[in-house]
Amino acid sequence: MSLLERFRTLGGKLGILAVAPAKPKAEPVKLEMRTVTLSELTQELGAPDLSKLAEAPEFLNLSWPEVYAAAGVQPPEHGWGVEKLAATLKSEAYAKLERTAVQAELARLFVSQEAVLETVQEAVARDQALDRFELAARMKLDQRAARRKKDLADLRQRFEELREALAKMERQVAEAESDDAKHWFAWRERKREAERELAWTVSFLLKDQVISTGEDPAPRPKDN
């Protein structure tokens, strides 16, 4: 579930940590909560730029900063952005503290409720950017899959056409070879008949045979 969806589950309300009014040093820092609407946390993102980002050759290998930058997400001007907050929370100084102690320390570090709000807005904007880029990336992958399926279908159709053409050509070749064999056999028979006629004609004039009639008869072609 995305961060925005979690907000909606909570009824569109979120308690925001704020700096408590100044107290004497002897008293511990107190935490106050501010209620904000979801509309205060959401921003207009560069959706067209995110879609364009999905056109990159290796768009699934893009870094999150590249996605955030394409969406126009910028850290707050006061310096306390999501990355700085995460690094602070992961630091050794905060690792051993209880949650309430960490919140108390953050209440001291943040200069105003607006600074807290802007930091949360940046987190929501990053979440929005990831969600929208996910949609753009999914659409890109679906388009690629559809194109590959079409190419495959076209190739299969071409393959079937070629297979039919091959079978037709094989039949034509077999028929042509059979016809040629029959015609060749008939021609050889007529040639031998002509040679025998020649040999018989000149046999009355010569003692020796000068006409070649001794070739083996050509094998009769088989009928298909």
Query: DSSP 3-state assignment of 137?
Result: helix
Burial of 105 (0-12, 13-18, 19+ CB in 10 A): middle
What residues does each domain of the chain span?
Answer: 3-157
The pLDDT confidence band at residue 111, using thresholds 50, 70 and 90, is low
Flag the least confident range among 74-83, 137-146, 164-173: 74-83
Compare 146 and 136 and report the one with higher pLDDT: 146
Q: What is the pLDDT of residues 2-57, one digit of tens each?
A: 544 544 443 333 344 443 444 444 344 344 545 555 555 555 555 567 778 788 87
Flag the least confident range among 6-20, 107-121, 129-143: 6-20
Q: What is the pLDDT of residues 191-204, one digit of tens each?
A: 989 988 898 898 88
Flag the least confident range among 20-24, 40-44, 152-156, 206-210: 20-24
List the beta bridge partners of residue 14.
36
Tell me the mean pLDDT in the region 73-90: 87
Helices (H), the chain: 3-9, 38-41, 47-53, 64-70, 82-90, 92-95, 99-109, 113-202
Tell me the mean pLDDT in the region 96-119: 85
Mean pLDDT, the chain, whole residue set:
79
Q: Tell which residue, 147, 129, 148, 145, has the closest CA to residue 53.
A: 129
Compare 151 and 113 and report the one with higher pLDDT: 151
**pTM attached to this predicted model:** 0.57
